[in-house]
Structure 1
Amino acid sequence: MFLQNALDFLPILLKGAVVTVQVTAGSFLLSSVIGLLLALMMVSKVRAISLIAIGVVNVIRGLPIIVQLFYIYFVLPDFGIQLTAFQAGVIGLGIAYSAYQAENFRAGIQAIHQGQIEAAESLGMRGAMVMRRVVLPQAFRIALPPYGNTLVMMLKDSSLVSTITVAEMTRAGQLIASSTFENMTVYTLVALLYLALSLPLGYALRRLEARIGKRGKA
């Protein structure tokens, strides 16, 4: 019975898994862009810019992700901003994780020795060029482990977008379970599918870290 039910439910859950991957990829890209921008603002020598970025990061980190999702999906329409559930999920998860990405990038940037920046400036590089050619490549290598962990965490937390009706894997499981009452079968499959996504991803990230680490030592 378990096997037959699993075979019946799997195609629907796999469709949800595709949406899960799409939400995770979109949110990760958005969080990386916003996080990098916030990190650059946080390390700015202009105190006002730095304080604004720190304040934004603290506010985002202080709000539960589910509250941010609800606000974007249910409250923004009151201001004339209509988003689909998928769009709201990607934007909400991306903004929520941008604060953590900002801290990852900030730590990487601040780990670069000041002497390297001064050496680059002595060669005629200035401002954005120093950041782009000297600081950010090294900062990315330093930030890669927590950066990769953030991706795995986002994959799992993408299940939160089910609360705003995004048809990802958890939502698909909820719908199947509510109509068939086969809770054990459904949620066992959901758990196994999450593991099937997250374990290879974690392995690939560790291999990438090792490869980049070797290049950095070469």
Structure 2
Amino acid sequence: MTGEAGFIFNELMPSLLRGLWMSLGLIVPSAVLGFFLGVLAGSCRVYGVRALRWSAHVYVALFRGFPLLVQLYIWYFGLPRLGVYLSPYMASVLGFSLCSGAYHSEYIRGALLSIKKGQVQAAQAIGMTRLQTILHVILPQAVRRALPGCGNEIIYLIKYSSLAYMVTCIELTGEGKIIASATFKYTEVFTVVGIIYLALVSVASWGLGKLEDRLALPGFQYHRA
């Protein structure tokens, strides 16, 4: 195989596949940690005591307000000034998780506020504690309602995981940048990189749609276009 096809299949794809595995290694734990942070922060903002509500509001304001790239620079380049050293991978996962959690918390908070207060009163009337009511009555419904928004945040996470190479964590975009700089075939390289991201987003969208259908409550389904 010669020419452009030979370059793509013999030189480009092996490097991009290596970068793809690193990207998946960033996306999966960041998505899981970010979601749980969002549930925790969102719950604290709605049902927490004053100190917890204030702390959660500050967390969300900071991590939604600072650009993600600035956050990554702080974790990787800034923390060593305080004697804390993180690997590029750990700095990236930390940055993605905290930023994603702040956005997830908004969807969770909105979903929690949409639950009618009568359900809380009914749960307490049968002897459930406040914590039991939140964990077993409110949160399961809220998570279902927030899932479309949270799924959208996961889609964003797939794409902004490409920023990891800025702190020397060489994932899919980083591998593409290295090859493009060496061969000057920027159009070919980043077209293939874009196609891979498109495939990741498409698979994630399909999976999230299936999850929404599986968790849908009878009588509360909606139809996607």
For Structure 1 versus Structure 2, the TM-score category normalised by the shorter chain is over 0.9
**What percentage of aligned pairs have identical amino acids?**
35
CA deviation vs aligned residue, 1:60-109 (integer Å, no higher than 9, x gap)? 11100000000000011111111100000000111111110111111111
TM-score normalised over the length of structure 2:
0.92
Structure 2 SS opposite 1:43: helix
Aligned equivalents of 1:28, 1:17: Cα separation in 2: 16
**Partner of residue 139, structure 2:** 136
- Which segment drifts farther, 208-217 or 195-204? 208-217
Aligned equivalents of 1:85, 1:216: Cα separation in 2: 47
CA deviation vs aligned residue, 1:147-173 (integer Å, no higher than 9, x gap)? 111111100000011100111000000
Structure 1 position 59 matched with structure 2 position 55: no
- Which segment drifts farther, 30-39 or 190-199? 30-39
CA deviation vs aligned residue, 1:138-195 (integer Å, no higher than 9, x gap)? 0011000001111111000000111001110000000001111111111111011111
**Partner of residue 19, structure 1:** 22
Aligned equivalents of 1:147, 1:97: Cα separation in 2: 9
Question: Which 4+ residue blocks in structure 1 deviate beyond 4 angstroms?
Answer: 214-218
**Partner of residue 190, structure 2:** 187
Structure 1 SS opposite 2:216: helix
- Which segment drifts farther, 67-76 or 54-63? 54-63
The aligned amino acid for 2:28 is A
**Partner of residue 94, structure 1:** 97
Structure 2 SS opposite 1:166: coil
- State the Cα distance separating 1:217 from its structure 2 match: 4.3
- State the Cα distance separating 1:51 from its structure 2 match: 2.3
- State the Cα distance separating 1:45 from its structure 2 match: 5.3
Aligned equivalents of 1:203, 1:160: Cα separation in 2: 24
Show the 5 A alignment for 1:90-129. Answer: 90-129=93-132
**Partner of residue 71, structure 2:** 68
Contact 1:108-1:143 at 8 Å conserved across structures: yes
The aligned amino acid for 2:14 is P
Aligned residue among 13, 19, 41 for 1:10: 13
Structure 1 position 206 matched with structure 2 position 174: no
Contact 1:9-1:186 at 8 Å conserved across structures: yes
TM-score normalised over the length of structure 1:
0.95
- Which segment drifts farther, 69-78 or 27-36? 27-36
- Which segment drifts farther, 30-39 or 15-24? 30-39
**How many correspondences in the alignment?**
218
Aligned equivalents of 2:136, 2:47: Cα separation in 1: 17
The aligned amino acid for 1:70 is Y
**Partner of residue 173, structure 2:** 170
Distance 1:45 1:34, change over 3 A: closer
The aligned amino acid for 1:52 is S
Q: RMSD of the TM alignment (CA)?
A: 1.5
Distance 1:61 1:74, change over 3 A: same
Aligned residue among 82, 85, 94 for 2:88: 85
Aligned equivalents of 2:218, 2:18: Cα separation in 1: 38
